[in-house]
């Protein structure tokens, strides 16, 4: 979903609350990643886990739609753009969840946050943007960070690493199409179309691959996961209502730290030095790219949408 300077109820200047809710959203995302891995470890199909995620997220956006714009907010003349954004989002999230089950959570999270690098590259071809030398250097530096985490020479091809990197690429497609849609589309409608399509795709996937009825404590874990997904969406929404995107952007990379903590607490995963170095390089590159884009937008006097999954 995309928001601009205002979100739903309008921007309110309360940066401390905005930062607190944004950081809370990042911590919850790390815990949700742990829930995904635990559910898959208990032999529940990934399709079933994703279905719970999309159903609860859809409910969240529908609850926002009715008291704001009503059904009229769903009117659109750009169904194809919505389809591209939604399909890219479903693929991106599915690949990230798959990667979480195959490689350390910190590695998967760090690789997923390489999306700004791909956004910069694709914006040249899809949006016709001009990229200066400094941003080119940031892109190259970011790819070095990706290679530090992937360590291709150390372990050879790893399907989990490939899934996380591809998740970042498709996540970049999501951001590109959100820029296209944000000029005319209701941000809540974008979220509804995406999560409803995700629910439909995962329902078909579940019907094809089979459904495992949650049993005992697993049902509580599923419900906690679904409610957590809705709460994470709410915290993210509130954060952009109370603080500007430029203020929140640097905090986004705390997600890598939270992922490392969660991986250590639940599975004893200790990120290797190259993971920390790669994560730091990706974060520095992403923040630099964001800052440069903000400056160019201020020059053009346009508003940049913020990506909210």
The model's pLDDT over 210-248, given as tens digits with 9 standing for 90+, comes to 899 998 899 999 999 999 998 998 898 888 888 887 788
DSSP 252: G
Rounded to whole angstroms, the Cα distance separating 290 from 225 reads 31
d(CA 145, CA 275): 8
pLDDT value of residue 62: 92
Give the pLDDT of residue 153.
59
Cβ atoms 43, 212 nearer than 8 A: yes
- Tell me the C-alpha distance between 257 and 273, whole Å: 13
* Tokens representing residue 116 in the block: 């700004």
Low-confidence ranges of the chain (pLDDT < 70): 1-12, 152-157, 296-309
pTM of the model: 0.87
Distances (CA, A) of 26 to 21, 180, 191, 215, 229: 9, 26, 19, 29, 12
- The domains of the chain are located at 2-307
For residue 163, the model assigns a pLDDT of 96
Angstrom distance (rounded) from CA 182 to CA 154: 42
Q: What is the pLDDT of residue 309?
A: 54
The tokens for 185 are 């589309």
pLDDT at position 10: 53
Q: What is the pLDDT of residue 6?
A: 41
Residue 9 pLDDT: 47
What is the pLDDT, as a whole number, of residue 130?
79
């Amino acid at each position: 979903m995309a928001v601009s300077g205002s979100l739903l109820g309008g921007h309110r200047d309360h940066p401390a609350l905005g930062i607190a809710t944004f950081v809370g959203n990042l911590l919850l995302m790390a815990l949700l990643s742990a829930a995904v891995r635990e559910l898959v470890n208990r032999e529940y199909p990934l399709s079933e886990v994703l279905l719970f995620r999309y159903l609860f997220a859809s409910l969240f956006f529908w609850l926002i739609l009715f008291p704001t714009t009503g059904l009229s907010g769903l009117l659109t003349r750009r169904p194809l753009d919505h389809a591209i954004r939604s399909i890219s989002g479903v693929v991106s999230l599915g690949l990230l969840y798959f990667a979480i089950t195959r490689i350390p959570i910190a590695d998967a999270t760090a690789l997923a946050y390489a999306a700004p690098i791909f956004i910069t590259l694709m914006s040249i071809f899809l949006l016709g943007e001009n990229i200066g030398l400094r941003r080119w250097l940031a892109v190259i530096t970011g790819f070095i960070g990706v290679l530090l985490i992937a360590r291709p020479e150390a372990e050879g091809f790893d399907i989990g690493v490939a899934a996380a990197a591809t998740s970042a690429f498709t996540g970049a497609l999501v951001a590109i199409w959100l820029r296209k849609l944000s000029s005319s589309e209701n941000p809540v409608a974008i979220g509804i179309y995406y999560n409803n399509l995700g629910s439909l795709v995962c329902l078909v996937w579940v019907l094809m691959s089979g459904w495992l009825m949650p049993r005992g404590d697993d049902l509580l874990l599923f419900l906690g996961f679904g409610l957590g997904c809705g709460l994470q969406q709410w915290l993210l929404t509130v954060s952009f209502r109370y603080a500007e995107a430029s203020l929140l952007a640097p905090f986004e990379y705390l997600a890598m730290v939270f992922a490392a903590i969660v991986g250590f607490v639940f599975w004893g995963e200790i990120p290797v030095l190259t993971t920390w170095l790669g994560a730091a390089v990706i974060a520095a590159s992403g923040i630099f790219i964001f800052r440069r884009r903000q400056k160019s937008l201020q020059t053009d006097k346009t508003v940049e949408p913020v990506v909210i999954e």
